Structure 1
Amino acid sequence: MKPRRPIVIGLTGSIGMGKSKVASKFRHLGLPVFDADAAVREVQGPGGVALPAIEAAFPGTTGPAGVDRAKLGAAVFGNPEALRKLEKIVHPAVGELQRRFRRKHRGRRAIVLDIPLLLEGEGWKTVDLIAVVSAPFHVQRARVLARPGMTREKFHNVLKHQMPDARKRRLADVVIETGRGRLLTFRTVRAIARASLGSRIS
């Protein structure tokens, strides 16, 4: 008999949509969650496996504390070629951490891959269900502009590199609303978890 593998839920959403809070709800309900952003921080942090290659490609952007985000950001901001170079370094390292996560939890009924750019890249091909976290634009904008150091220019620059929310919603198997009350959000997450686990979650 072929071993059963977990149902893979691909969790994604644009900046300020509330994806991190949704991921925490999945964890609360007992589903292991792979956090791609945390994986990026790990491979770029102190002793991170990507540091030597990043330093070679972008001299002076790393140190004992890992990547200097300001310096690296300045090196790739507005430079598509430099950004692609960085992605070729970071993405394989993050991919290896995801493979380890999958192996560790291969006996579970369901797992969650929290990947911000799931639909912008090829990641959607490796999941069984695409869950898009979404909120009205005015809610998204208010959340993002409330972040320390965020400006309208930075916000719109991020949006330029992300698939529009309307298109993500069309590609989703399920949309998790976060701008219309916490109860609706939790009920949607719980329904997804129940269906994926094939068991009742109170």
Structure 2
Amino acid sequence: MRIIGLTGSIGTGKSTAARMLRRAGLPVHDADATVHALFAPGGKAVAPVEAAFPGVERDGAIDRAALGRRVFGDPAALRRLEAIVHPLVRAAEADFLRRQRRRHARMVVLDIPLLFETGADRRCDLVVVVTCPPFLQAQRVLARPGMTLERLRQIRTQQAPEADKRRRADVVVPTGCGPRPALRRLRRALGL
């Protein structure tokens, strides 16, 4: 089974690329969706995150905004959070890969925003980086509810530099010209 790593900085079109690959019939494991499930009521991360950061639980779930205020800008707190969450996300990914192997999937996608930053690229046979010009990235991100320039700056400091991601990628998919050219590039690169 061929494992495709899909990554890109915030606002570059990674989620759109993942949807395109799903529509093309590829199984996709979404690391962000996994984190949302872990933080939801009954999620495996709720109790340990609340224990590490008292007061971030609301109605049985992790209040992501409250948690963000506690960890962004505090590298030690962020490392504590990652030590809780990353192993749980990795376990969910391993379960996904086992299920796909049993189903004899020929190719799967690991949609991981921090692919390089967490070393997940080493588990992939091919890495696709989705990218766009910085002005377009900022425009897309700042259109999101509650997003500010300061918050965008903080997020960017947690992510590998765009040039580094492009350099380390096997395939670079520019999204600045819209979804159709990006889909063509993805299909060509993956032989779909």
Asked if TM exceeds 0.5, the reply is: yes
Are 1:110 and 2:99 matched, yes or no? no
Q: TM-score, normalised by structure 1?
A: 0.91
2:160 match: 163
**Which whole-Å CA distance do the structure 1 matches of 2:180 and 2:109 have between them?**
21
Q: CA deviation at 1:125?
A: 0.5
Q: TM-score, normalised by structure 2?
A: 0.95
Please point out which of 116, 121, 127 is paired with 1:119. Answer: 116
Structure 2: runs of 5 or more not aligned:
none
Q: CA deviation at 1:186?
A: 1.0
2:76 match: 81
Instruction: Tell me the amino acid that sits aligned with residue 170 of structure 1.
Output: R
2:14 match: 19
**Which whole-Å CA distance do the structure 2 matches of 1:185 and 1:43 have between them?**
31
- Matched pairs, number: 190
Instruction: Tell me the amino acid that sits aligned with residue 97 of structure 1.
Output: A
Are the counterparts in 1 of residues 4 and 124 from structure 2 also a CA contact under 8 Å?
Answer: yes
Are the counterparts in 2 of residues 35 and 114 from structure 1 also a CA contact under 8 Å?
Answer: yes
Are the counterparts in 2 of residues 29 and 193 from structure 1 also a CA contact under 8 Å?
Answer: no
1:132 match: 129
Aligned-pair identity (%): 49
Structure 1: runs of 5 or more not aligned:
1-5, 195-200
Are 1:189 and 2:186 matched, yes or no? yes
Please point out which of 140, 143, 148 is paired with 1:146. Answer: 143
Q: CA deviation at 1:65?
A: 4.0
Larger Cα-atom Rg: 1
Are 1:64 and 2:47 matched, yes or no? no
Q: Give the 3-state SS of the residue equivalent to 1:150 in structure 2.
A: coil
2:44 match: 49
RMSD: 1.1
Q: CA deviation at 1:70?
A: 2.1
